[in-house]
Chains A and B, each alone.
Chain A
Amino acid sequence: MVERLRQLSQIFATVVSNAYLKGFTTGVIYQGNLKQGCNPGFNCYSCPSALFSCPIGAIQFMAAYGSYHVSFYALGFLSIIGTIGGRIVCGWGCPFGFVQDLLYKVKLPKRDIPKWLENFKYLLLVLLVFIIPYVTLEPWFCKLCPTGTLEAGIPLLSLNPMLRPSAWWFFVLKMAILLFFLVWMMVAARPFCRTACPLGAIYSLFNPVSIFRIRVDEEKCTQCDICSRECPVSLNLNEIKKNARGCVRCLRCTVCPHGAITFGRG
């Protein structure tokens, strides 16, 4: 039931984020006022159908060109969501997370991701989203972002023949990064969210302190470990109890047959 609801929520978020379908016929991106708003999930604003701005793109732009080199607006927006629900958007409302969940259904042998790799996203956040854009005045995360390649690069280059001659080695590099992640998504759960997503890195900081959180009733818990086996990001019971940063709040652990795990106000 929770999983069905989550899938519907992901479909809804993907459709609302990409409701400007006209962009796919004209090759021109949406230029209306809704782009003043940030998308809570990861969705490239150069996607022909995107209605909202990517918060990570906005943060990089403000780091480079803003009066104070900090996007109070985007960081405030993400912090409001994070404080309320932690990484709930990762699990329930991120279009790129939805792509990863779909690709993980491909029947291939599955592999886990080493825990230490999960810290890599914080390095990317600090370097490519804050420091390097500030120093170079270029949005370096966008330049390497596989979401941008999938949602913007491929469709816009397909729809605009005039852009194609400019696409060479850098586009090839971006395609290689995208293909690497697409293959990884088929064999591991949420590899981009866990190792490279700067948006997930920001939301994850709020997981342990968010208002709505996962609660484990110690009296009902029998240590059966079903929650841990259900968890797509391989958290153990102790990490689930602590609302660990790695949790994408998919809430699959709430299938606990003893009713020991719930999601609600702290």
Chain B
Amino acid sequence: MSFFKKHIAKFLLILSIVFFIAGIMLEEPAMILSHAIRICLGCIGIG
């Protein structure tokens, strides 16, 4: 694997972790939970 690819993977991993932590700090898991505990009418084909 080239030097560039080796380092882009590390860079992407750090960026992904930053995104993930930012999402937690923005309280996204609670928002997702509030949505996911209700039946998605679109998923079951009536909404």
Question: Chain A interface (Cβ within 8 Å of chain B)?
Answer: 29-31, 33, 35-38, 44-46, 53-54, 57-58, 61-62, 65-68, 71-77, 79-80, 82-84, 138-140, 142-143, 145, 148-149, 152-153, 156-157, 163, 166-167, 170-171, 173-175, 206, 208-211, 213, 266
Contact = CB atoms under 8 A, between A and B. Distances in A.
Interface string B1-40: 1000110110011011111111110101111110111011
A62 B32 contact: yes
Given A35-B36, A73-B24, A266-B5, A167 B19 contact: no
A199 to B, nearest CB: 15
B31 A166 contact: no
19 contacts: A33-B33, A36-B30, A46-B43, A54-B36, A58-B32, A62-B31, A72-B20, A72-B22, A73-B28, A73-B32, A74-B23, A76-B18, A83-B13, A143-B43, A148-B40, A152-B44, A157-B44, A206-B12, A209-B5
Interface residues of B, number: 36
Contacts of B26: 67-68, 72-73
By secondary structure, the B interface counts as helix
Interface of B: 1, 5-6, 8-9, 12-13, 15-24, 26, 28-33, 35-37, 39-47
Nearest to A211: B9
B28 A71 contact: yes
Nearest to A148: B43
A47 to B, nearest CB: 9
Nearest to A213: B1
A74 B29 CA distance: 9
Nearest to A144: B42
B46 A36 contact: no
Contacts of B17: 76, 80
Nearest to A77: B20
B44 to A, nearest CB: 4
Contacts of A82: 16
Contacts of B41: 166
Given A171-B45, A211-B9, A266-B5, A83 B36 contact: no
A46 B40 CA distance: 6
Contacts of A157: 44-45
A170 B33 CA distance: 26
Given A167-B45, A266-B1, 8 more contacts: A57-B40, A66-B28, A72-B20, A84-B13, A138-B42, A143-B47, A148-B40, A171-B46
B16 A174 contact: no
Q: Name which of A82, A149, A170 has the most chain B CB atoms within 10 A of its CB.
A: A170
Q: Name which of A76, A143, A166, A208 has the most chain B CB atoms within 10 A of its CB.
A: A76
Contacts of B35: 53, 57-58, 61, 65
A13 B15 CA distance: 27
